[in-house]
Each structure stands twice: as structure tokens, then as C-alpha cells.
Chain A
Amino acid sequence: MARVVVDVMLKPEILDPQGQAVQRALPRLGFDGIADVRQGKRFELEVEGPVDDAALARINEIAETFLANTVIEDFTVTVEEEK
């Protein structure tokens, strides 16, 4: 079965207080040198059948209508190598 990954991130102009909280915690934990953190979501979709253009079109539709809210978020769709 092939895996397709959908990554969803807040748009760059949208404030991400969760990412900021993670970034601010890093020096306290002894990790220096990280200027910024933004937090997103990763969805791993196990696809039945071949990942052809039709399947990718369907996954793009899933991402656009459901997994991401395109008012505030961007998404990317990546096909993972079959193992």
C-alpha cells in the first residue's frame, strides 16, 4: 500500500502562539540557536490501489476541503516511496 503525506501549516502571516511557546521553552531546556518554531499537522494516508493522477486529485480534494482550512492554512501533498 502506498503512503501519501499531507502536511498542513498555518499560513506564514498567521500568528502561531503554540509554535512560539515551543520556541521559548528551548533555551530553558538547554537548546540554543533556534530563532523560530512553527507548529503544523502531518497526515499519513494509506492509499488503496495505485497512486495515479486520479488518486492524487482525490487526495488534493480531501486536503483542501477537510484536512486544511485554506482560510488560515496551506498544505502540501507528498507521495512516499513504497517500501
Chain B
Amino acid sequence: MTTRIGVVTFPGTLDDQDSLRAVRIAGAEPVSLWHRDKDLHQVDAVILAGGFSYGDYLRAGAISRFSPVMETVIEQAKAGLPVLGICNGFQILTEAHLLPGAMLRNNHLHFICRDQKLRVENAETAWTSDYTAGQEISVPLKNVDGRYTADERTLDELEAEGRVAFRYADVNPNGSLRDIAGITNAAGNIVGLMPHPEHAVEPLIGTGRTDGLGFFTSIIKKLVNA
């Protein structure tokens, strides 16, 4: 049976189509999920895609977190369902308290859109096993609310438990504490990051590299071997 990976569309989501495409290119069956539908349609994993869900009103991700689909995603993620939050999806995961910390306005207040070098810090999560620890990859970054923040105790815990999944290499583009670009939960099934791997899966577009494809091949391998 083919692996089914769902991508949630909220009002204001922008990168659902690219995420579905990345899933297909990696070799799984992409399944569109709708924010008002609690049913996850038997998917094996869920991606919360980037964009500006609900216009980022109140705070980025704050309203989406209470949508019907998230009720099921939160419940199943806690039970082990693999979930990847990209950009706005990462913001939703922190608002839903599936991942610790919060995202704030970039320290320089500008919207950024650039190719960003990242260092893979944890290559053992459900979404990163096709990378190696210490590997540097380049994928697009585009956001205005990308400054990762958590209290010192949480940051120390994340570091000690190896839960910093990605760090910004070369430059810290937004003032994120400890250069954190992405984190994972303790079980490794939930991963969130600000940069966009789904925009870097074909040599023709984006960075001209396919550095982002590993997220999607990692999860497929994990599910097939499960």
C-alpha cells in the first residue's frame, strides 16, 4: 500500500500545493486535508504547510490551532502520528503546545526571502533520518515572524535532549535564540522549522538544489519500515 501523507489547507495557507507536490515527487500519495474537516482520511503523516493562516490575526498560528482539523492532529500527534510544521505550520505547532517556545517578529522587522543555509543537528527524527548530523543544507526561508523564543530553561532542555533539529548556519536571519531554525518533540515524530524544504525538491526551481527532499523521503522510509 502506498504511504499517504496529508497536507492541511487553512484559509490563508500558501504552500500546500508545493508540499503536496514534494510528497508526490518523494514517492508517496499526497492527500489534501481541509481545516474544517476533523477527519484525517487515514493518512500516515500530516504536514502543516506555510502561509498566513487566518491572516496571522491575533498571532501567527493562534487561530488555526483551534480549527476542527487541529483537534484531531493534536490528539493523534500526541499518540505518535508524524507531523511536520513548516513556517506557519511551525507557528501553529508552538501555539498548540505540541512544540515548546513561540515565534516572534523578526528582530529587524523586515520580511525575509532568501536561500538559507541550515545545519542538521538531529538526524534521528521521523522527518530527518535521510540527513546526517552536522550536514549543511540550503533551502528557502521566507517570513516576518521567524524569531524563535523560549525561556532559558526550555532552551537548555532542548539542547540537552538533542531536540534542536536545525540551526541557522553562517547567519542568524531573524534573531532566533541560539540560532534555532527547527526543533522536535522528545519522541521525534513532531518536527517544526521556519525554512521551507518543500520549495527545494527539484533542481529546476528554487535554490537549484534538492536539499529539502530528504524530509519527505525520510518520512516515507520511516512509514514503510514501520
Contact = CB atoms under 8 A, between A and B. Distances in A.
A34 interface: no
Interface stretch (A10-18, A25-33, A50-58, A74-82): A10-18
B62 interface: yes
Interface of B: 58-59, 62, 66, 94-95, 100-102, 104-109, 149-151, 175
Main secondary structure of the interface of A (DSSP, over half): mixed
Contact of A14 (B104, B106, B109): B104
Contact of B102 (A17, A18, A72): A72
A69 B102 contact: yes
Q: Which of A14, A21, A71 has the most CB of B within 10 A?
A: A71
A69 B107 contact: no
Nearest to A43: B58
B95 A69 contact: yes
Contacts, number: 33
24 contacts: A10-B104, A14-B104, A14-B149, A15-B104, A15-B107, A17-B106, A17-B107, A17-B109, A17-B175, A18-B109, A21-B109, A66-B58, A66-B62, A66-B66, A67-B58, A69-B95, A69-B102, A71-B94, A71-B100, A71-B102, A71-B149, A71-B150, A71-B151, A72-B149
